[in-house]
Amino acid sequence: MISYEYSLDFAKKMDADDPLKDFRSQFLFPKIDGQAAIYFCGNSLGLQPKTVEAYLQRELHAWADKAVDGHFDGDQPWFSVHTRAKKTLAKIVGAQEEEVVVMNSLTSNLHALMVSFYRPEGKRFKILTEAGAFPSDMYMLESQVKFHGYSPEDAIIEIAPRTGEHTLRTEDILATISDHADELALVMMAGLQYYTGQVFDMKRITEAGHGVGALVGFDLAHAAGNYPLALHDWEVDFAAWCSYKYLNSGPGNVAGIYVHKKYANNNDLNRFAGWWGHDEKERFMMEKGFKPMYGADGWQTSNGNVLGMAAHQASLDVFEQAGIDRLRTKSLLLTGYLEYLIQRINGESGILEIITPQDPTARGSQLSLLIHKGGKAVFDEFYRNGIVGDWRNPNVIRLAPAPLYNSFEDVFRFAQILERSLAKFA
């Protein structure tokens, strides 16, 4: 186990020994007062890879030179643009290539997947989720149960942490699944909780859900590209994620879905169909009768957003070079160093509290700080000193040291600013 030190020499040595250190130079950093920021906000919007411009220009030139013929001409025709990301995305989420596809946006994808996998019948109509889920997920679930004629109060079971605790215990999640064994149609929750940074035990949750006859899906917005996943082996039924957080693909950019291979040829599943999900061999015959593509591709509706996918691919190619396992190794060290320095500096001051799990296996590249004194003024002080983090009401600062582009010296510099800032609120 590494012994951390609060010193610049230590941070510089860690950076010198970091096998991923060169990836930092592949990203563009924002500036505060003319100086490059210490950017700990990749859990909200990842930094831009420097290659994005060239990837976009390639597609713009194809559009200019070929116009409609770009769909089928050239080395990378737009007809198959959705296939380019499959290899790397499959590695990132732990799936087979036919189980993943890039399409649409996160919440629209969740709605599309709910059409297939939320199938209430009789007394089995309830959905289990975590209390305090990201608002978009809450709205999505509310509207889905209303669409089926149920009230959210009756149909949605929200499990909250125990009194005085900030995160959920796995045994409580499993117990709640068991308690509602005859009523659950679906377990649908985050894989990594956006507010606390807690990673849920997706494997055990999936096993428990299946054990009572429910289907299981996850919103992986904060997990994809951040935490190693094994969706296929865990037998998760479905999942969706965005690409603009840890996957660094640009604001509001295209998202992705996963559907387990066991549904790859199930043409009887309800789905809201569109022509890009139709059998590509017959797609341009323009005939009635939807025949879904094999695997996740069968959930596509419209042809792909070529420019968005180009930016997405620029980032995925960086991930392919770095490797999700190597990124996880650095993430453990980097987040561990941030935790060590925060605890050392905060001491017994009572100004802040880390509410993200202490167990490194139960968190990704994020620490959430509950601010007990000073409120948003503490966050504003960070920003004035060059730290870009994320404020969440009522009193949480989220810090996400991303292993692709953050350094140990970033963490050390943050600690110096933290020490000076907390002195103002002690």
227 and 366 co-located in one domain: no
83 and 140 co-located in one domain: yes
144 and 280 co-located in one domain: yes
> What is the domain count for the chain?
2
Of the residues 270, 289, 321, the one at which a domain ends: 321
Residue 342 placed within a domain: yes
Of the residues 291, 321, 351, the one at which a domain ends: 321
Q: Whole-angstrom Cα distance, residue 17 to residue 317? A: 23
The pLDDT of residue 421 is 87
Residue 20 placed within a domain: yes
Nearest CA to 156 among 121, 172, 191, 180? Answer: 180
Q: 250 with 308: CB under 8 angstroms? A: yes
Look up the CATH number of the domain holding residue 398: 3.90.1150.10
The pLDDT of residue 424 is 82
Say if residue 357's pLDDT is above 80. yes
Based on C-alpha coordinates, what's the Rg of the chain? 22
Please give the residue that has the higher pLDDT: either 342 or 74. 342
Q: What is the DSSP letter of 7?
A: S
Residue 228 placed within a domain: yes
287 and 313 co-located in one domain: yes
Q: How many CB atoms lie within 10 A of CB 194?
A: 24
Structure tokens belonging to residue 81: 């643009």
Look up the CATH number of the domain holding residue 315: 3.40.640.10
Residue 100 placed within a domain: yes
pLDDT digits (tens, 9 = 90+) for 27-63: 999 999 999 999 999 999 999 999 999 999 999 999 9
Residue 1 placed within a domain: no
Residue 44 placed within a domain: no
How far are the Cα atoms of 31, 74, 110 from residue 34, in angstroms, in the given order?
A: 5, 42, 40
The pLDDT of residue 348 is 84
Structure tokens belonging to residue 307: 């420019």
144 and 220 co-located in one domain: yes
pLDDT digits (tens, 9 = 90+) for 89-109: 999 999 999 999 999 999 999
418 and 336 co-located in one domain: yes
Report how far Cα 9 is from the mean position of its chain's Cα atoms. 33
Nearest CA to 136 among 160, 108, 116? Answer: 108
Residue 131: which pLDDT band, with cuts at 50, 70 and 90? very high
Q: 118 with 147: CB under 8 angstroms? A: no
Of the residues 283, 301, 321, the one at which a domain ends: 321
202 and 109 co-located in one domain: yes
Q: Whole-angstrom Cα distance, residue 42 to residue 422? A: 24
Nearest CA to 240 among 224, 264, 222, 220? Answer: 220
254 and 170 co-located in one domain: yes
Q: What is the average per-residue pLDDT within 396-424?
A: 95
390 and 306 co-located in one domain: no
Say if residue 116's pLDDT is above 80. yes
Domain carrying residue 383: 8-36+324-423
107 and 196 co-located in one domain: yes
The pLDDT of residue 3 is 94
pLDDT digits (tens, 9 = 90+) for 10-22: 999 999 999 999 9
Residue 423: which pLDDT band, with cuts at 50, 70 and 90? confident
Of 136-140, 162-166, 284-288, 394-398, least confident by mean pLDDT is 284-288
334 and 292 co-located in one domain: no
Report how far Cα 315 is from the mean position of its chain's Cα atoms. 14
3-state SS, 346-396, equals: HCCCCCEEECCCCCHHHECCCEEEEECCCCHHHHHHHHHCCEECEEECCCE
331 and 239 co-located in one domain: no
Task: Give the position of tokens 């994320």.
Answer: 390
